[in-house]
Amino acid sequence: MKILVTCLLFFSLSLHSQHLVDKLSDGRYMLTNDGASYFAKLSLDCTKKAAPHYFYKALRKEGEKLGPKDYWPSFYGCYDWHSAVHNHWAMVKLLKLYPLIPEAAELQEKLALSFNEDNILAELDYLKTHEDGLFEFPYGQSWLLKVADELIRWDHPDAKKWLRNLQPLVDYIVSVHLSVWPNVPTVSLSGSHDSPAMGLSFAYDYAVSSKNKKLKEIVSQAAIRFYGDIANAPLNEEPFDYDFMSAGLLVTDLMRKVVAPKEYVIWLKSFSPELFIPGKVNIPLKLDRVDKHDGYESHWDGFHLNRIWCLNGILKTLPADALSKEAKSEWVSAMNGMWDYAQESIGKGNYDIDHWLSTFSVFALIGYE
């Protein structure tokens, strides 16, 4: 019976995969209702799974009988804490933008349970008492700020209640950002969990939506200090090592938020001149393929999805006359190719892939709607 249910689930997902996206007027992909339903199923499924989990592999003490749910009553699934957090962002986003999908009631029920006041206080206790209060900083903690940012920008009674319950954990994470970044002199480009650009970018989003002037100031100052003078970034050499995101494009996603649009165009043309030159866009935005998608190879899928979300962010910010029609067409072609490649592996039943790439797929298309 269990095998039958699993087969039916993946058969259902495969049916949905034929209609995940439609095209916008400029050719970019946009998530359909079927696509929203498809990724909602994946996020719901993994957020309820306490095993397999990183905890049992690396954090569990010998003879310990407790499991992930005992430590993280809200974010115990999806193999690790940060993946559980960002899948909650995906569920909030999908429920917010696609409230009529069949999974809406289940999404609401799961979010209400995860954002229960007592559960969040338990999560806060864990963050405060592990790794010198820097547990999952910056990656996981910044995803939590992104969850809060999404709830702030959703005018719905449940969103307001969930945000109130989440606030103690959010306030603590804000305090960590305020404490850490002024004391970091320099950083390296990274597309992994230690990425300063990704952490700062989501912290900035929260600072703006919550009207936290101090956080906005600290993040902006750090971004300019770290990346203000960077030029000719080696985008064509990415990903580096085990990166699962685009180290360089994460920087572009951050910088578009902290500098004025006209100044940003000047900065971006220095950062990657080829992005603006028809016929050369494929140099920084090349599509690299590997035949194997699971394990670490799934990082290639995440890398390409992350590039889409950064490029969509840039397009949201660039003045209308900054990018030629020909260059934008090449951007769109590259983005759609990246999406098609990444979706070859998602929703096929491989937990290495599905526990995190559902979120990355959702963010790629509607993270910056």
Which residue is it, tokens 């649009």? 261
DSSP code per residue over 225-266: HHHTT--S--GGGPSPTT-SS-HHHHHHHHHHHHS-HHHHHH
Domain ranges of the chain: 35-183, 184-369
DSSP H or E run through 23: strand 21-23
23: pLDDT confidence band, cut at 50, 70 and 90? very high
Question: d(Cα 214, Cα 205) in Å, to the nearest integer?
Answer: 13
| Contacting residues for 185 by C-beta, under 8 A, at least 6 apart | none
Question: Residue 179: its pLDDT value, please?
Answer: 98
User: Is cis: bond before 52, omega within 30 of 0?
Assistant: yes
Question: Residue 18: its pLDDT value, please?
Answer: 55
Do you know the residue count of the chain? 369
Has residue 4 got a pLDDT over 60? no
Has residue 295 got a pLDDT over 90? no
197 vs 63, more confident: 197
Has residue 315 got a pLDDT over 60? yes
User: Is cis: bond before 234, omega within 30 of 0?
Assistant: no
Has residue 216 got a pLDDT over 60? yes
Chain segment 68-94, per-residue pLDDT in tens: 999 999 999 999 999 999 999 999 999
Sign of CA dihedral 107, 176, 168, 206: negative
Question: Residue 8: its pLDDT value, please?
Answer: 42
Has residue 12 got a pLDDT over 60? no
Has residue 6 got a pLDDT over 50? no
pTM greater than the 0.85 cutoff: yes
Largest CA distance in the chain: 63
User: Is cis: bond before 284, omega within 30 of 0?
Assistant: no
Alpha carbon of residue 58 to chain centroid = 24
With vertex at residue 111, the alpha carbon angle to CA 106 and CA 114, rounded to the nearest 5 degrees, is: 125
148: pLDDT confidence band, cut at 50, 70 and 90? very high
**3-state class of 29 per DSSP?**
strand
359 in Cβ contact with 43 (< 8 Å): yes
256 in Cβ contact with 317 (< 8 Å): yes
Question: d(Cα 367, Cα 369) in Å, to the nearest integer?
Answer: 6
DSSP H or E run through 22: strand 21-23
Q: Provide the token pair at 51.
A: 């095993």
Question: Residue 288: its pLDDT value, please?
Answer: 85
| Angle of the 247-258 helix axis to the 261-271 helix axis, nearest 10 | 160
Number of alpha carbons in the 13 Å side-chain half-sphere of residue 194: 8
| Range in 58-67, 109-118, 222-231 with the lowest mean pLDDT | 58-67
Checking phi first, is residue 30 left (phi over 0); if not, alpha (psi -120 to 50) or beta?
Answer: beta
Mean pLDDT, all residues of the chain = 93
